[in-house]
Amino acid sequence: MTPLQFFKCLSDDTRLKSVLIISQLEEACVCDLMAALELDQPKVSRHLAELRKCNILRDERRGKWVYYRLHEQLPEWAKDVIRQTVEHNHNYFSDALAKLNASKVQASSC
């Protein structure tokens, strides 16, 4: 993966926030991201598919839900960029994370 490919894959707000949330939580399912980003399932799934094609995320089906986490073969420099972005830009995705946590409390997610 080149830096250009990596940054192009993350150039969309939905994809970037999804990766940051997944990185923060270590894994998330589609329904978690739907709640966090207030988007419908097809839109979230389309963005996650793009991130899979870029080899930034990998997925695992568990029953009817698909869970996503950072791809284990993601280059270390890319993991560092994601880690640093999470650490220094929490305000960028904190509202989405709060919505996700609220949906878990209400048991309205997966």
36 located within any domain: yes
CA distances from 51 to 4, 69, 73, 106 (A): 14, 10, 13, 28
Q: 59: closest CA among 11, 22, 106, 87?
A: 22
Q: What value, to the nearest 5°, has the Cα angle with vertex 61 and ends 58 and 63? A: 165
27 located within any domain: yes
**71 is in which domain, residue-wise?**
3-100
Per the listing, tokens 């568990």 go with 62
User: What does the pLDDT look like over 33-82, one tens digit per residue?
Assistant: 999 999 999 999 999 999 999 999 999 999 888 999 999 999 999 999 99
The structure's pTM equals 0.92
* H helix runs in 1-110, sequence order: 3-9, 13-25, 30-37, 41-53, 76-88, 90-105
18 located within any domain: yes
Contact (CB, 8 A) for 99 and 36: yes
User: What does the pLDDT look like over 98-110, one tens digit per residue?
Assistant: 999 999 887 755 6
User: What does the pLDDT look like over 70-105, one tens digit per residue?
Assistant: 999 999 999 999 999 999 999 999 999 999 999 988
CATH number of the domain where residue 78 is located: 1.10.10.10
Contact (CB, 8 A) for 6 and 42: no
Instruction: Look at the chain and report how many structural domains it folds into.
Output: 1
106 located within any domain: no
User: What does the pLDDT look like over 1-30, one tens digit per residue?
Assistant: 899 999 999 999 999 999 999 999 999 999
Per the listing, tokens 């940051």 go with 20
